[in-house]
Structure 1
Amino acid sequence: MQLPSSSLKRSLPLFLLCCSMLVPPAAHAQGHGPEEAEAIEAMENQISRIQEQQLELQKDLMAMRRELAQHRARMHLGHPATTNEAAAREHASSPHAIEGARQLARNSATPAPTTTAHHLYPGEVPTPTIGEDTPTYAAIVAHRDEDMVNRLADNNVGPHPRETAGAQATGALGDHGVFHVGPVTVVLGGYFDTSAVLENRHVASGTFNYWSAMPFPRDANYHQNNFEGSPRYSRFSLMARANIDSHTTVSGFVETDFGAGAETTNPYESNAYVPRLRQAYLSYDDTLEGNHLLIGQAWSLLTPGRAGIVARQESLPETIESSMLAGQTWTRQWQARYVHELLQHRLWLGLSIENPATIYDTTGFDNNNGSVPLPNGGTATIGANGTGLTEFTTNYSDEIAPDVIGKIAWDPAWGHYEAEGIVRFPHDRVFANGTGHNNTAIAGGGGGSAVLPVIPHKLEIHLAGLAGVGIGRYGSVLLPDVTLNAQGKPKPLPDAQATAGIVAHVNPRIDVYGYYGMQRSGRSYFSSGGSAYGYGNPMSSNAGCEVEMSPLACTASIRSVQEFTVGAWWRFLKGRYGTVEVGTQLAYSRLETWKAIGGAPSTSMSQIFFDFRYLPFQ
C-alpha cells in the first residue's frame, strides 16, 4: 500500500512559510489607506483558503493511516484483507489523492487573490488560527462524521451547508464550540433567535402555523390583523461523542428550545415537553461494517433526508415559520432505529419502531376525556387524560403497538432518493350490551422523496410525498388519523401530504427559496337517529361559517390545506465569531372544507415573517 505522506510532509513546511509571509506585521497594517486594507483582507482570505485545503488533506492522510493500521493488524493475525479495505487502499493510493498533496504545495505559492473568501458548501471544515494544535482525524470525524460519509459517496447534494436554516432545523452542528473532556469530544450547537409575524388573521399561535385554527368569517379574529414577536425559538444543542476504535463511535445528542407551553404538551407531533425537548438520543455507528443504531427522541424515519439515512441530515424547508410548511412529513418522537449501509455508503436500509399517538376525530360525538358515548348506547374508550408526570389536560390515545417504519435511500452520483412505508395499529375498547371488547384497525401508507442538485451545491429541487390511511399526524397540518364507525371501531381516514420546493444558494451569504405544500384528508361518516357522526359528514352543518357572530353551527371538516411561500436569508456577518443572519418570508395559506349543509366554506391567511439569528458555533 502506497501513501502520499512524503508529498504532504514536503508541502507542510512550504505551507507554513507561505502563511508566515502572508501575515502582515501589525505596525505595517496601521495608518494606511483602503488599498492596503483591501490587500490585507485578500491575504487573510487566501490564508483561510489554504488552511481549509490543508485540513482536507489532513483528513485524507489520517484516513489512509487508519486503513494501513487495520491492514497491518489483519496481516499480523493472518486474515486476508476485506473487499472494503482493498477499495480503501486503492482510493488512498489513487492519483487523485496524490495530486491533492501536490495541489496544496502549488496553492501555497499562489499569490493571494483579490476576491472574497472561498466558501465550501459540500462539507466545510473548521479553520484554526496559526499556532493552534492541528486537529486529529478522530476530532474531525467526531465533529461531523456525516461529512466524511457523504464525501466517500458524493451525490452532488452534500450535507447541509451548516449555516443554512435547513441545517439549523435539523440540529446540525457548527464549526466552533468543540472541546474535549478526556477521550470524549463535546460539540455545542444552536443559535439565539428573535422572530416575528404580521398576518391578516388573528391566529394566536405566533410563528407556529396551526392551520386547523384558521378562522372563518363568523369569527371576529378573521377580520383582524395581528403582529406577534418572540425569542422563544432560540435553540441550544450539545453532542458528546467518543471513538471506541478507529471506525466505531458512540454519541449522545440533546436539543432544546422554548417553543411550548405546559398545557399544550402532547405526544402527537413534536413531543414538546417543557422546557421543550426537541431531540434527545444516543447512537452507535460502525462505519466499517455499515451498522448504525439510534434510540431516543429524534426526527422520524419518515422525515425526508438529503444524504444516506444520517441523523441531523433531514431535508427540511428553509422557512422561518416553526411549523415549517403545510404538507411537510415529520414528527420528532421516541424511536429505536437500525440502519445498514451497502455499496460504499450509496445504498441505505432503515427500520424503525416509533412511538404511536393516534389523532381521533369525534365530530358529532360527545368526547369526555377519551370516553365517547355511541348512538347505540355503548361507549368507546379511545384514550385517557394524563396523570402523574404527564400533562393532565392532554388526552393520550390508547395504543397497542408502536408504529413500524421502513425506508430505503439511494445516493448515486447525482441526487438523493428515498422510498418509505409505515404500518400503524389504531386501537380502542367498546363496551356495549353488557360486554366489552377491544378493536384494532390496520393503517399505514407509503411515499418517497428526492433532492435534485440541478446545479450542485448551488440550486436544488426538493420533492416529497406520503399517502395512505390513518397517517394524518405525520403531516404539519395535523389532520386526524381516524374517526369512529357506528360500532365504535377505529376507522382510518385517507390522507395525502406533499411538498415541492426550490432552494438557491446564490452566494456564500444569500439563500433564496420557494415552496408549495399540501395536506388533504378523506372522510368517513354515518347518520343515526337524525344526527350526523364522523368526519366530513354532508348532513352536518356549515351554515354559520360565513356570517360574523352567527348563532348557527360551523362544523367545517377540513378537506385540504395548501401553502405557497417564498423567502430569503442573508448572512451579513460571518467570521470566527460565528454568523449573524436575517431572514424574511411571505406565505399564503388556503383551507378548504368538505361540503355539508350550508356549503363548503373556505378561508385563507397571508403572512410576513421576519427573523434575526446569531449562530455562535457556525
Structure 2
Amino acid sequence: MLPSMWISVRTSPLPWRLSVLLLCGATVAPAHASAQDEAAQIDAMESRIARIQAQQLELQKDLMAMRQELARHRARLTGGHAGGTAAARQPVREAASAAPHASSAMKVTAPESLAGIDSQDRGAPVADAAPPATVAATSAPAPMDVPPPRIGFDEPTVAAVVGRRSEDMVNRIADNNVGPHPRETVGAQAAGALGDHGVFHLGPVSIILGGFFDTAAVLENRHMASGTFNYWQAMPFPNQSSFHENNFEGSARYSRFSLMARGNVDADTTISGFVETDFGAGAETTNPYESNAYVPRLRQAYLAYDNTRSDNHFLIGQAWSLLTPGRGGIIARQESLPETIESSMLAGQTWARQWQARVVHDMMHHRLWLGLSIENPATIYDTTGFANANGSVPLPNGGTANVGANGTGLTEFTTNYSDEIAPDVIGKVAWDPAWGHYEAEGVVRFPHDRVVVNGVGRNNTAISGGGGGSAILPVIPHKVEIRLAGLAGMGIGRYGSVLLPDVTLSSSGKPKPLPDAQGTAGIVAHPNSAIDVYGYYGMQRSGRSYFSADGTAYGYGNPNASNAGCEIELSPLACTANIRSVQEFTIGAWWRFLKGRYGTVEAGTQLAYSRVETWRGIGGAPSTSASQIFFDFRYLPFQ
C-alpha cells in the first residue's frame, strides 16, 4: 500500500506532501488488504488533499487582503508621494508573518504572479482545485517588494485578481468582476496551464503547455461542404441542388496545441513567446474519403515584452487583432470570444489573427489601458461585373486595374494577395472599473491599386476605416454576464466573420470603400461549476457602390445585376446575389462531466440558425438560410 499512496501524494508540491503526511498520518496497509480497501484509502487521501488545497486558497486571500491594508497604511504615512520611505518598499514578508494562521509552506512570489488564485472563487469544484500559482513549488521565485504608491493616488496597486491564471496574466490587472470561465479554451481562446498542470521549468525559463483534443460534428439542412466552419458567403441559394440536401460531417481537425516559454529578465520585466496550432488547413492532398489528412496551420506565434514597473507592454508577431474584444485590460490570451462550437464563431463577430506590432500602456492602478497597433493589411475586393484574372481587372474605359496577384514561392498560388501600400493602424482604449470591462477602438486602412490606361500607369490609394467598442456586464459576477460588441465604418468588412468585401472599383478603377456594420450581443451563464449556457445574436451588413456602362452592371449591389436565376434549381439564368446582410441566432451549452488532476473532459451542443439577405436586382432580392446542430467532445489535459 505504501508505494501506491506515495505515488498519489508526490503529484503535489513538497509542502503539500508534508502537510498530507502530518494531517493524514499515512500508514501502511496490510499486504492482504483488498483492492477495494486500497481504492477507498486513496480516495480519502485525495479528499483530504483537496481540503488542504482549499485552506491554502483561503490563506492566500487573507495574505492578499493584509497586503493591501499594509500598503494603505504606508501610503497614508508617506502622504501618497512617489517613492515613499524605505519602509514603504519593505518586502511583503511582514504581512505574511503577521498572519497568525499563515502556513510556513507558502512562499509569496512576485506581484505579477499573484494573479492566479485558483478556480474556487469562480465555482470550480474544490476537489479539483490545482495548487495556487503563489505556491513556491509551482512558480519561479521572484522578489516580493510592494511597488511604491503612484503619484496622485492614495490607493495601492492591487496585484491579485481572483480567478485568473498566473500563466495567462503576465501583467497585473485590476479586478473588474469579469472572471474568465472555468473552461477558457472554448471559442478559440488560447489554452494555458492551470497551476502545476503542464508547467515545466528549464533553468530560468518556464515552459507552459496548453491545448485540447477535440472531435466535433455538425448536422445541417444545407450541404455547405465546410464542416463546422460556416462560410456564409458560399451558403447555397435554391438554384443549387445543395440547398435542398441535408448534410452531416464530423472531424477532429480543430484539436489545438499551444506552448508558451516565459522568462524573467529581472523583478519587473518578463519576456514570453507563444505558439498555437491546429489542423484547420486543407492541402491539395486532403480528402474526406480515406485519409482525412488535414495539415497543421499557424494560429498564433508571437513574442511579448512586459514591464510591470513602467506598465509598458510590447507584442510582435501573429496574434488576435487589437480590434478583437477583450475581457480585461489589453492583454494577449484574454480575448472575449463566443463559446460556440462552430469554428467561424459567430456572424458579426469582429476579429482577425494576423501579424502586428503592438504597444500598450496602462495607468490608474491598471484600470485604464491605451493600445496602438500596426497590423498586416489584406483588402477584400469585390469585382462583380468585371473580369478578374488573378488580380488584373479590365475596365470599361479600356484600362486595367491591378488589385493584387496570386501567391508564389511559399505562399498559396490559388489565393490572390491584395496590393497594399501601408499597414492597418488600430487604436484602443480599455477601462476596467470595479464592475465590467469597456472598450472603444478605431481603425484606419489604405486600400491601394494601380490603373494603367494607354500605357500610362497611376497608383490610387483610398482612406477608409471605422470605429466601435465592446462591453462585458457582469450582471452576477462570475455567474451571469452580458456581452456587447460592434464595429462600423467604410472598408472594414474583412474584420467580420462573414468576410464581406472591403472595397469595389469605380469606373476609373480606383478603390471604392463599401460601408459595413457588424455587431454581436450575448448572454453567458454558469448555473453551476460543471455547466455553461450561452445565447448569441450576430449581424453583419454591407452597403453598396456601383455603376453601369455599355449595358453592363458593375460594382456591389447594382440594381441592374441579374438575380433571375436564384430561385429555380439548376436555372441557366444568372444569380448575382450580392449579400446585404447576414444574421445568426445561436444557443448552446457545455457540460464538464469529468474533472480532476488528470484534466477536464467536456461535451457541448449548439443550435444555430443563419439567414442571408441580398441586394435587390433584376428578378428580386433572394434570400437563403441554414439550420444547424453541432456536437463536440473535448479533453483538456492542462485544465
1:253 aligned to 267, 274, 284, which one?
A: 274
- Residues 1:127 and 2:149 aligned together: no
- Residues 1:49 and 2:54 aligned together: yes
Task: Tell me: CA distance 1:489–1:498, structure 2 relative to 1, closer, same or farther (3 Å).
Answer: same
Deviates more, 1:139-148 or 1:300-309: 139-148
* Inter-partner Cα distance in structure 2 for 1:319 and 1:26: 49
CA contact (8 A) 1:558 1:591 kept: yes
Deviation at 1:44, TM superposition (A): 4.1
Deviates more, 1:139-148 or 1:483-492: 139-148
In structure 2, the residue matched to 1:83 is: 82
* Inter-partner Cα distance in structure 1 for 2:374 and 2:16: 54
* 1:127 counterpart letter in structure 2: P
- Residues 1:295 and 2:316 aligned together: yes
CA contact (8 A) 2:426 2:441 kept: yes
CA contact (8 A) 1:57 1:100 kept: no
* Inter-partner Cα distance in structure 1 for 2:296 and 2:43: 47
RMSD (Å), alpha carbons? 3.8
Deviation at 1:165, TM superposition (A): 4.1
Task: Tell me: CA distance 1:13–1:174, structure 2 relative to 1, closer, same or farther (3 Å).
Answer: closer
Task: Tell me: CA distance 1:64–1:615, structure 2 relative to 1, closer, same or farther (3 Å).
Answer: farther
Q: Secondary structure at the match of 1:541?
A: coil
Matches within 5 A, 1:208-247: 208-247=229-268
TM-score of the pair, normalised by structure 1: 0.84
1:601 aligned to 602, 608, 622, which one?
A: 622
CA contact (8 A) 2:67 2:92 kept: no
- Residues 1:161 and 2:181 aligned together: yes
* 1:477 counterpart letter in structure 2: V
Cα deviation code 1:476-523 (max 9, x no counterpart): 000000000100000000000000011112222111100000000000
In structure 2, the residue matched to 1:268 is: none
* Inter-partner Cα distance in structure 2 for 1:549 and 1:99: 80
In structure 1, the residue matched to 2:329 is: 308
* Inter-partner Cα distance in structure 2 for 1:384 and 1:516: 36
CA contact (8 A) 2:192 2:209 kept: no
Q: How many residues in Structure 1 have an aligned counterpart in Structure 2? A: 575
- Residues 1:578 and 2:599 aligned together: yes
Task: Tell me: CA distance 1:88–1:548, structure 2 relative to 1, closer, same or farther (3 Å).
Answer: farther
Task: Tell me: CA distance 1:315–1:118, structure 2 relative to 1, closer, same or farther (3 Å).
Answer: closer
TM-score of the pair, normalised by structure 2: 0.82
CA contact (8 A) 2:498 2:540 kept: yes
Unaligned runs of 5+ in 1: 1-11, 72-79, 109-116, 266-272
Task: Tell me: CA distance 1:122–1:508, structure 2 relative to 1, closer, same or farther (3 Å).
Answer: closer
CA contact (8 A) 1:189 1:617 kept: yes
Task: Tell me: CA distance 1:289–1:534, structure 2 relative to 1, closer, same or farther (3 Å).
Answer: same
1:21 aligned to 20, 23, 33, which one?
A: 23
* Inter-partner Cα distance in structure 1 for 2:563 and 2:403: 27
Matches within 5 A, 1:460-609: 460-609=481-630
Cα deviation code 1:167-210 (max 9, x no counterpart): 75234444411011111111000011111000000000000000
Task: Tell me: CA distance 1:240–1:138, structure 2 relative to 1, closer, same or farther (3 Å).
Answer: farther
Q: Secondary structure at the match of 1:545?
A: coil
CA contact (8 A) 1:53 1:104 kept: no
* 1:440 counterpart letter in structure 2: T
Q: Secondary structure at the match of 2:351?
A: coil
* Inter-partner Cα distance in structure 1 for 2:327 and 2:637: 25
* Inter-partner Cα distance in structure 2 for 1:462 and 1:99: 42
Deviation at 1:45, TM superposition (A): 3.1
Q: Secondary structure at the match of 1:314?
A: coil
In structure 1, the residue matched to 2:389 is: 368
- Residues 1:144 and 2:166 aligned together: yes
Cα deviation code 1:385-431 (max 9, x no counterpart): 11111111111000000000000000001000000000000000001
Q: Secondary structure at the match of 1:330?
A: coil
2:468 aligned to 444, 447, 461, which one?
A: 447
CA contact (8 A) 1:346 1:412 kept: yes
Q: Secondary structure at the match of 1:21?
A: helix
Q: Secondary structure at the match of 1:534?
A: strand
2:205 aligned to 169, 179, 184, which one?
A: 184
Deviation at 1:337, TM superposition (A): 0.2
Matches within 5 A, 1:271-290: 275-290=296-311
* Inter-partner Cα distance in structure 2 for 1:88 and 1:539: 78
Name the % identity: 68
Q: Secondary structure at the match of 2:242?
A: helix
